[in-house]
Structure 1
Amino acid sequence: MPGPGQPQFGWGAPPGGPKPPKKGRGGLIAALVLLGVLVIGVMALKIVSAALKGDGDPSYASPTTTTSYSPTNQPTKEPSGQPTNVPTTAPTTQPTTQATRPTATRSTATATAKPTTKPGPTDTDLVVRNRLYKAGAMASVNCKESKARQSTVAGARANYKNLVGCLNRAWAPLVAKAGGRFRAPTVRIFSGTVTTPCGTHSDSGPPFFCGTTDTIYMNLTEDIGNYNRYPQAYQKVWARMWMLHQFAHEYGHHIQNNMGILQAYSRIRYERPNYAMELQDSRRLELQASCFSDIFIGANRRSYPITGQSLFQWRWLIGHVTDNANDHGDANNHQYWATRGYNARNPSVCNTFAASAAKVQ
């Protein structure tokens, strides 16, 4: 069975018109793909080059990222002062029968302060109690949709460039508030086949994010194809909303990578005793990325804008997904988490790792 890095998550076409033909495993594959994360062995510290246990997925590679949750060395407080050598002063008058007894000089040395290491967060802390959840609501960055349409390579490129700039401005303050060090992702487009540290992918599959290189890979063939496939205006609006949500979702994986969630998830999943629990972990990760996606869309709903037909198609899109591999979340739960992000515009509502199993089916 394919792992979560494989293309099998699709979006339903909008109602009322011809439905785009199915690709690959079913429906338009607009999957939300992961990751590039290998697990470090606990004792031997050997990088695991094989796929995650049980699913044979080769798309996990060792991330070369930094996390804001690294332990810090805090020395103990220095003594307020050092003892001094104070000889006793001889009295000016002394009894003739008793000699003055000299006071022994003290030579107490200042104790050397030993640094203590503050324990870092556990993997559970990173996914369940991440500081990003307390960073507050996202403010609008007045993001406007690119005037270029994705009917051509140049138009699609303009869309990607516009979106990554908006997302960088929107997420950087929240990452900083959470104590992280924000870094912008790299964005690459591909047609045909692309080989990455997270595996080889073709344009018959979805866009994806590779944590090893902190790179979003957007499927140019699919985005242009979605826009040009049918002449109806509503289909073209759907294609634009689809690209917006997909790009923002993959960017959500980048934020997980920034905050240590992606790496902690991989280590947690690796230790699971069975594949069913691994799949549930994958759904938690993917549903959170969609929730993060719609935080941005909701925060910029007025300027983009998400109104009229755009709002209708966004609502249709988030509620009509297929998850044949059971690793991204079903339509009802996807709609639930996407809507939470859109309405609240706050990462606090996206803690899928603390949600009940029923909410991540």
Structure 2
Amino acid sequence: MDDWLIDDERLSLERKSILPGEGFFVPDSLEEDRQEQEVAEALDGAATVVVADPDADGLACTALVREAYGEGALVPAGPHELEETLEWVAEYAETDATVVVCDLAPDSDEDVAALPDLVARVEDVRWYDHHQWEDDLAALVDEAGVERVVGDSDEVCTADVVHEQLDYDFPDRFRELAAVTRDHDLWIREDERSDDLADFSYWSEPEEYIEAVLEHGPDLSPEIHEYLAEKRVEKEALIEKAVERAELREIGPWTVGVTYGRCSQNEVAEELREQGADAAVVVKPAGSASIRGTETFERCHEVARQVSGGGHPRAAGCKPDVYDDMLDYAHHWSTRGAVAKQAIVDAFRRLEVEGDSEAQTDDGDE
């Protein structure tokens, strides 16, 4: 396949909104081989290792660990990459290393299958998070000998947890970094700096972000603000495309906004909330989806768990298992995510039915 076919720079805004980024078209086997090699190189000689989701919260955690320990090799891992990432760390980490897992929650037994090997290999394993955990998976992690601390997902982000748990007298800028990260991660949005952190973590390389917040905390440099202003022109246009495609659906007692596109899901969800949505579903071209709630819908994680995902009551992610081959993806792009949308809408409907059943049972008991 010619490189120019997937070159983002030549795509119109409309096509860029519909199609996934260049990385999607690299086979997982090649990507995994590259990632494994990078993990092996990063862990060579590292006394402290951080396995973290490379978003603003996970990268803030990494910055906090580096400040406290004086170092910290980052191993980026998304929620769907946890299983193989822990396997690689168990294989390549130095035997005297401390491993800190941040801002990640397992979705299945397989995700934490490598923990016994990891605990047996290294000196210390800690796990800090703020997501919703299944009791059986929490027990597996605890029984493996991991020091696990999970904060209240309605009150704190993982950076808050790390800031509190590490035995270190952090300078004030790190306390402020955790607070502003929380403002974004919990979608409080009372501090205008939180959008800057979220956008910069998305558009920059992880090491660039970590270096910036280590030096400045949440107050980014003028050069970074100039960069963000330029990038936001396209960002706003992609948000507008996704909002234009949105439909409001009545599902039981809730109004759910459903849309598709490569975009910033939080801003799209906010726009749909202003249109009257209790919850928002943003299906992405790569096949995953973001689910966002409001004060009138706090069951996003319950919806996500039905379609291969998880998260928080007001913010969750998933990737419906509806793609068997590239023809399914072609259909996904040409129909703007019709099958994935339907799978998630059906999950909302099952919640509504479950609620009715519980109410009927309660009435019967009375």
TM range (shorter): under 0.3
Which of the pair has the greater relative contact order for Cα pairs under 8 Å at 6+ separation?
1
Larger Rg: 1
Q: Quick check: which one's helix share is greater?
A: 2
| TM-score (normalizing by structure 2) | 0.25
How high is the TM-score relative to the length of structure 1? 0.25
